[in-house]
Amino acid sequence: MQLKNGAEYMESLRRLHPRIYYKGEPVSDVTRHPATAPHVRAAAMTYALAAKPQYRDLATAVSHLTGRTISRFTHVHQSIEDLIKKIKLLRVLGRKTGTCFQRCVGFDGINAVYSVAYEVDQAHGTDYLERFKQWLIAIQDENKMVVGAMTDSKGDRAKGPAQQADPDQYVRVVQRRPDGVVIRGAKLHMTGAVNSHEVLVMPTTALDESAGDYAIVCAVPIDAPGITLIFGRQAGDDRRDQLERIDVGKPRFGAVGGEAVIAFEDVFVPNERIFLNGETAFTGSLVYRFAAHHRANYGACKTGLMDVLTGAVTYLAQIQGTAKGSHVRDKVTEMIHLSETLYSSSIACSAEGAPTPSGAYLVDTMLANVCKQNVTRFHFEVARLAVDIAGGFIATLPSEYDLESEAVGHIVEKYFSGVSGIPVRERIKIGRLIEAMTGGTAMVESMHGAGSPQAQRIMIFREGRLAEKVKLAKALAGIPQRRQGKQKSD
């Protein structure tokens, strides 16, 4: 792997020249700007872990394309063991960063595109998979970070892509040339976009024949001409701008994933970087497989975050003198129970995975949707319990400026103290960590990342095998099965 550690990753970003804006101003160096640097450090942890012997088995893999050792985040799953190792790695990273480390969307996009490109080639005699393999080998060998770009702006959501008053509300091909295509549109909420090397563009929904120009899958360098990124605001980002390190809560890492808008203004994509171009019949499978892989992740990375939050509130209870209360112990027990239940969903959908026709493995899609549905409930309940145990002081804490003020610092020191011998600064730090992990963007992402709750419920209903379950009930009740108007007993 060319990029072997976090420092090399950061240096590689400094060699890029993407067009990035934050609060209306250009960002020249994402590794140093206070709004983006914490997210860069979180992503850098994926590189750092691969360099540590105790994590190497989880954080690296052997490429089935080259036989070389690569980052797991660039790997195409070749077995159930690969699927499970991914889940274990994500929980470790969640524990290490307490936030999103941003490489999962590109990772899941790689796996979805690989399997679908194979099937398009089989049906139409195209060479998409060979093109994709050549691009992927370069990604693997250089250990580049890929942002998966799927969510379009969507405009009027009652209308499909081809029916929009503004056709650019979904990314589309606006010109086809002998050497490639030109694309236009935007992708929203793109996690880790400003600190990625490449963009993997994918459609956001299943498309019909009227939307052929929108059925485009391609890879584009993050600093390609015509790309503009607008870095999103997050709760408490002005605290980072002012370098109030205690008040940030997680001064080293970002709040969630550093989401951004990626605007494509007539961006040229050469043929060798195009992996689907108008084959609308395959867009549903692509979105479906990507979503399944991505929803499986949430029971791992969010469990890692929940581990940190459980530890934070346990320590706060200890230094506040409430840890021995039976109600506190019961609530902490429930936090642990919910975390492990959620993690078991990720392990289960991975353990029940199976190969696609391409040979790449896919998680059990029903269980992956159940996993993400649990995230939209369990993570919120763990956050609620943490805030319950912590008490109201985390909502009205004075700032670090007040703590260090000659005029009022002694008041903060006196009245925010807890158990004797524990520095007030520690209580404030752990309180701010709980605040950062239970409010604002963090919880919104848990609800809507990888698809809003209703998206999972739709898939759970579709895959519920209700007809099969009706047959089971009828058989036990002695009710004959009826087919085409005739009665038949099983």
- From the number of C-beta atoms within 10 Å of its C-beta (0-12, 13-18, 19+), residue 446 rates as buried
191 is in an annotated binding site: yes
Active site annotation includes 294: yes
106 close to 297: Cβ distance less than 8 angstroms: no
Active site annotation includes 396: no
Cα distances (Å, whole numbers) of residue 308 to 152, 314, 324, 463: 33, 10, 20, 34
Q: Are strands 486-488 and 481-483 parallel, antiparallel or unpaired?
A: antiparallel
- Give, to the nearest 10 degrees, the angle between helix 365-390 and helix 283-320: 20
Catalytic residue among 100, 218, 349, 371: 100
- The verdict on pTM exceeding 0.85 is yes
Query: 184 - beta bridge partners?
Result: 172
DSSP 152: B
Active site annotation includes 191: yes
Structure tokens at 154: 């969507």
CA angle 23/25/26 to nearest 5° reads 125
Catalytic residue among 97, 104, 198, 283: 104
All domains in the chain, ordered by first residue: 286-468 (1.20.140.10)
Q: How far, in Å, CA of 77 to CA of 63, rounded?
A: 9
| pLDDT tens track, the chain, 490 positions | 688 899 999 999 999 999 999 999 999 999 999 889 999 999 999 999 999 999 999 999 999 999 999 999 999 999 999 999 999 999 999 999 999 999 999 999 999 999 999 999 999 999 999 999 999 999 999 999 999 999 999 999 999 999 999 999 999 999 999 999 999 999 999 999 999 999 999 999 999 999 999 999 999 999 999 999 999 987 767 766 555 567 777 667 766 678 999 999 999 999 999 999 999 999 999 999 999 999 999 899 999 999 999 999 999 999 999 999 999 999 999 999 999 999 999 999 999 999 999 999 999 999 999 998 898 899 989 999 999 999 888 878 888 889 999 999 999 999 989 899 999 999 999 998 998 888 766 655 656 565 666 777 777 777 878 788 778 787 877 888 887 544 444 3
166 close to 153: Cβ distance less than 8 angstroms: no
Active site annotation includes 371: no
Active site annotation includes 47: no
Active site annotation includes 124: no
Active site annotation includes 298: yes
Catalytic residue among 259, 279, 400, 435: 259
Catalytic residue among 36, 60, 99, 191: 191
Q: In terms of residues, how long is the chain?
A: 490
Half-sphere exposure of 343 (CA within 13 A, CB side): 21
Q: How far, in Å, CA of 345 to CA of 341, rounded?
A: 7
Catalytic residue among 218, 301, 349, 371: 301
Q: Which residue has the tokens 């509300």?
A: 169
